[in-house]
Amino acid sequence: MVCGGIGAEAARRAADAVIVKYSPHLVISAGVAGALVSDLHVGDTIFPVAVIDTQDGSRHETGIQSAPMGESSLGRTVLATYPEMASSAQKQQLAKSYGAHAVDMEAAAVAHAAEKYVLPFIAVKAISDDLSFELPEMNHFIRNGQFQTRNFVFHVAVRPWLWLRVLRLARNTRLASENLCAWLRESALTNTIVPGTQVK
C-alpha cells in the first residue's frame, strides 16, 4: 500500500512506483469521493464498474464485474475523476455530462497506470460529501499533491462562517475513512477480490 497524495499527478507517480517496485497482481485505487447523486450518502462505500477521466474523456472498465460486490448496486456505479475538488454546481454538471455517481481526483490516473502495465484494476471509494454539501474553498491549499493544513487553518480561523462547514466535513471524512479502512482490513488484504487474483 502507498499513500500517493492528492490529485492525478501524485496518483500517477505513486501507481507507477508501486507497480515497478512490487509487481502487484491487482491495482486498487482506494480513497474518498464526493456523491453526484442523492442516493449516495456519507459513509457509503462504492466499487465503480467504470472510471471516466474528465480531462480526456477516456473510460476505464474495472475488474469489479467478476467480483462478488460487482453484483450489488454499489458495484454498478460510475466514477468521474476531476482535476479539482468539485463544487455543488460542478457535481451536478459532472453527473449530467458523464452519467457518473461519484467524483474523485485520482482513480483515472491509477487506471491509466494499470492499463500501461496490463494489470487488472478496481476502485474503492467511500463517500465523504453528499450531493448538496458545498465544500469550503480548498483547491488553493493543495501543493504538489499535499494539503497545506496550516495555511488552511489560518484561512478558516478568521472566517467564522466556515467553521461549522469545516467541522462537518472533518466528521464526514472521518466516517468515510473508517468505512474504507474496514473494507480494506476485512476484504482487500485477506481475500481474493477479483477471481484468480490474490491480494497480498
For position 200, what pLDDT does the model report? 42
Of 1-5, 6-10, 123-127, 191-195, the one with minimum mean pLDDT is 191-195
pTM of whole model > 0.75? yes
Return the percentage of the chain with pLDDT > 90, whole number: 66
Q: Domain 8-198, what fold?
A: Rossmann fold (3.40.50)
pLDDT classification of 135: cutoffs 50, 70, 90 = confident
Decide: helix, strand or coil at residue 2: coil
HEC states along 130-190? Answer: CCCCCCCCCHHHEECCEECHHHHHHHHHCCHHHHHHHHHHHHHHHHHHHHHHHHHHHHHCC
d(CA 94, CA 53): 11
Q: Per DSSP, what are the bridge partners of residue 29?
A: 123
Distance of CA 35 to the CA centre of its chain: 11
Q: Could you tell me the residue ranges of all domains in the chain?
A: 8-198
pLDDT classification of 199: cutoffs 50, 70, 90 = very low
* Average pLDDT of every residue of the chain: 88
pLDDT classification of 191: cutoffs 50, 70, 90 = low
For position 50, what pLDDT does the model report? 95
H/E stretch holding 127 reads: strand 121-129
pLDDT classification of 186: cutoffs 50, 70, 90 = confident
Residues 6+ apart with CB under 8 A from 188: 28, 30, 124, 199
User: Helix 8-22 crosses helix 107-116 at what angle (to 10 degrees)?
Assistant: 30
For position 194, what pLDDT does the model report? 58
Closest CA to 52 of 105, 92, 16: 105
Asked if 41 contacts 130 with a C-beta cutoff of 8 angstroms, the reply is yes
Question: Taken in order 92, 44, 171, 149, is the CA torsion positive or negative?
Answer: negative
Q: For residue range 44-95, list pLDDT tens digits in order.
A: 999 999 999 999 999 999 988 877 666 777 778 999 999 999 988 999 999 9
Q: Is the pLDDT assigned to residue 198 strictly greater than 50?
A: no
d(CA 137, CA 148): 13
Looking at per-residue pLDDT, the higher value among 187 and 4 belongs to 4
Looking at per-residue pLDDT, the higher value among 166 and 68 belongs to 166
User: C-alpha angle with apex 105: 75 to 196, nearest 5 degrees?
Assistant: 40
